[in-house]
Structure 1
Amino acid sequence: MKDPSIIEGSNHIEKQTNELLERNKLLLATIDHSRVGVLITDPNKEDNPIIYVNKGFENMTGYTVEETLGRNCRFLQGENTNPDTVKELRVAIQNNQEVHTILLNYRKDKTKFWNELTINPVKTESGKVSYMIGVQNDVTTRVELEMELEYDLKLSQLLQQMQLSDPYSDEYLEISGFHLPSGKVGGDFYKWQKLNNGLYSVFVMDVMGHGITSALLTMSINAILLSLTQREVYNPSEVLHKLNQHMFDLFPGDSIMTKYYFTCIYLLVDTKEKKIEYVNAGHPSFVVKSINGVEKYSSTTVPVGFLKDHEFKPATFYYQDEIELTMFTDGLYEHLKLELEKLCDTFQNRNRFEQLIESLKESKPEDDICLVRIHFRNEKKKNTAT
């Protein structure tokens, strides 16, 4: 007669074995019916062949289990698969490392799909890698949307750059600008125009926020400025009133969109009278360097888009000798972490200013940066030269 304890122990082992088998069946059934593709390879065999794929893999690739087992995963690659991504995968597998990447693969019917692939090594207790498990997800829709967005951003970047004024020079003045968005596009913008009878308009703005929305607003403002110029509307007060009205038309009080505003400086330069009429709407001070030193012209009113029907009163100053006027957006403050006084020291020295521009070209600021510099020529020097 068998010992009851042995019988009981045997029954317990059998029960545990059956439970383990049931759990394994449940696990395999779950994996097999998962929408993601799952495959297992054996790195201890030549060419790391596939030894298991689930239904998700079959549905995603079009290849059956019979067509897949025993092959290396590279059979999903094609002529447009990025070789650098393939190398990244190969090196990770050779070094028994986890890897996550996205690569272009090909289905059985030769159609392309973007495969988000994660590969993990499975190790024994001794640390030896026994299997590699790959999980793949078809992210074609997401990748194509990202590529479309990237294309749109590049196009927006080109359009925004085209709207910025080119450097300008004549017998009275010389104007140049520098524009560096924190991303592909930004909310900083500058524009200057030669008007008539020795008049010039110069405009610098900084829209709240960054990115596409801010960039679109700069394009919208540029269109308004061009329209006003065509109608010979130059007066700073009237120009700012029209821009303010435009902002409230875009974002009415009951709009579900976030309220936007922008700071700006608008200059109306009269080279015959040597007079500059301006409005500084909540913008950082602009700096004027002359033989008498440096003067700062601070904000005269609120930003555009703050108060409906607000009156933007202009201020005026005259210049006599050769001067240099510099305007910039607050991104320069934040990037350089300098107070205005320190910036003025840089603005006074042409070489240091040019060095600043060169250093900014290589930087990646957190906020958009815009700089405009106007050199007013000396009348006496001009006459002497002629």
Structure 2
Amino acid sequence: MKKLDVTYSANIGSYLGVPIILEDNTMFGTLCAIDPSPHKFDKKDLELMQTLANFIANAIELGQAYEIILAEEQRVKKELELAKKVQTSVLSEPVQLEKINIQAYYQSSESLSGDMYSWFEISPNKFGVILIDVMGHGVSAALISMSIRSLLKGLITSISEPIEVIKELNHHIFSLFNSTHQSTYATAVYMVIDTELKTIEYVNAGHPSGLLFLDQKTMKRMDEGSIILGIFPNLKVDKQLIHYNEPSTIMLYTDGLTELINPVINDAIHTVENIIIGEPDNLQLIEEIKKEFVNGKTLKDDICLITVNVE
């Protein structure tokens, strides 16, 4: 074998090089086999080197794909974080007035949630309060809940009547998917509280029972109204009217809370009723529920609850 300066000085007696070709036909580099002893590589050696070069090309492409996926995940994560901030930013702020105090707690099991609450001052001494739970979790449920949220202020402040509000919400949810032969549904509780007349009007649309500790004496379940929203174009809706005379506590919640407390829903509700009786202050009530059932837990479903104190 002829001695070349470049091979002789590097102590290279034999050399075999195979290009590393990626899937897009670009050459990443060369896989080299070097032997200080001069000899001739055969076809078997070449096939082995080509096989190794293919393995290396695959590994490189997997690494590149992983980096692309990782970058995409980071981008999606940032977008979801922004979307979550937008979603939480439109939730109503607490109300702390002489005759009414409204607080809420919200925790999603994923970045985005289908749970949503709002309240609006309809007129002096009169508030509309709503809690909605859209089927599913994540982006799709969040988009539907945001669509509903865009309606609420105009709907509640212009109509306010619980039966008509629920019917309009049902029409909106049903029409979202009516033309696509898909379907979704939501449950809701809507109530109008008049602190001057001391009345609570409500409609429960297939939602877990609202709880009312009436006059700090009697526990009532707010579970009457209609079926869930979005299944049928027309809905039969009934409302209930409750009078209170003494300070009372109302709690609305989504099924994520009851599922976390006890899979048997009636037992879970009974547990919450006892907590309300023991801690009727609505802000302390939220803290007690968080401490007992939420903090440190991995959530399988979104959790949302509203607590109201009326005087």
**1:334-349 equivalent positions in 2, closer than 5 A:** 334-337=259-262, 338-349=267-278
**1:248-263 equivalent positions in 2, closer than 5 A:** 248-252=174-178, 254-255=179-180, 258-263=182-187
Asked whether the 8 Å contact 1:347–1:353 carries over to 2, the reply is: no
- Determine helix, strand or coil for the equivalent of 2:113: coil
Describe the shift of the 1:182–1:23 C-alpha distance in structure 2 as closer, same or farther (beyond 3 A): farther
**Counterpart in the other structure of 1:31:** 52
**Counterpart in the other structure of 1:195:** 122
**What is the alpha-carbon root mean square deviation over aligned residues?**
2.1
Give 1:142 shift.
2.0
TM, length-normalised to structure 1: 0.63
Asked whether the 8 Å contact 1:247–1:304 carries over to 2, the reply is: yes
**Counterpart in the other structure of 1:354:** 287
Give 1:221 shift.
0.8
**Counterpart in the other structure of 2:221:** 296
Amino acid at match of 1:372: I
- CA deviation vs aligned residue, 1:30-82 (integer Å, no higher than 9, x gap): 331357355xxxxxxxxxxxxxxxxxx5xx7xxxxxxxxxxxxxxxxxxxxxx
Asked whether the 8 Å contact 1:236–1:279 carries over to 2, the reply is: yes
Describe the shift of the 1:353–1:250 C-alpha distance in structure 2 as closer, same or farther (beyond 3 A): closer
Amino acid at match of 2:303: I
Cα separation, 2, equivalents of 1:24 and 1:312:
81
Describe the shift of the 1:353–1:226 C-alpha distance in structure 2 as closer, same or farther (beyond 3 A): closer
5+ residue gaps, structure 1, are: 1-20, 39-56, 61-115, 117-135, 378-386
**1:157-306 equivalent positions in 2, closer than 5 A:** 157-229=84-156, 232-252=158-178, 254-255=179-180, 258-289=182-213, 290-306=215-231
Describe the shift of the 1:34–1:165 C-alpha distance in structure 2 as closer, same or farther (beyond 3 A): same
Cα separation, 2, equivalents of 1:151 and 1:353:
30
Asked whether the 8 Å contact 1:245–1:309 carries over to 2, the reply is: yes
Larger radius of gyration: 1
Amino acid at match of 1:162: S
Percentage identity across paired residues of the two chains: 26
Asked whether the 8 Å contact 1:36–1:137 carries over to 2, the reply is: no
5+ residue gaps, structure 2, are: 1-41
Higher relative contact order (CA 8 A, sep 6+): 2
Amino acid at match of 1:356: I
**Counterpart in the other structure of 1:371:** 305
**1:120-159 equivalent positions in 2, closer than 5 A:** 136-159=63-86
Asked whether the 8 Å contact 1:187–1:214 carries over to 2, the reply is: yes
Describe the shift of the 1:309–1:35 C-alpha distance in structure 2 as closer, same or farther (beyond 3 A): farther
Amino acid at match of 1:239: V
How many residues were matched structurally? Answer: 260
Cα separation, 2, equivalents of 1:352 and 1:200:
21
- CA deviation vs aligned residue, 1:229-257 (integer Å, no higher than 9, x gap): 45x111111111111111122111x415x
Cα separation, 2, equivalents of 1:168 and 1:212:
29
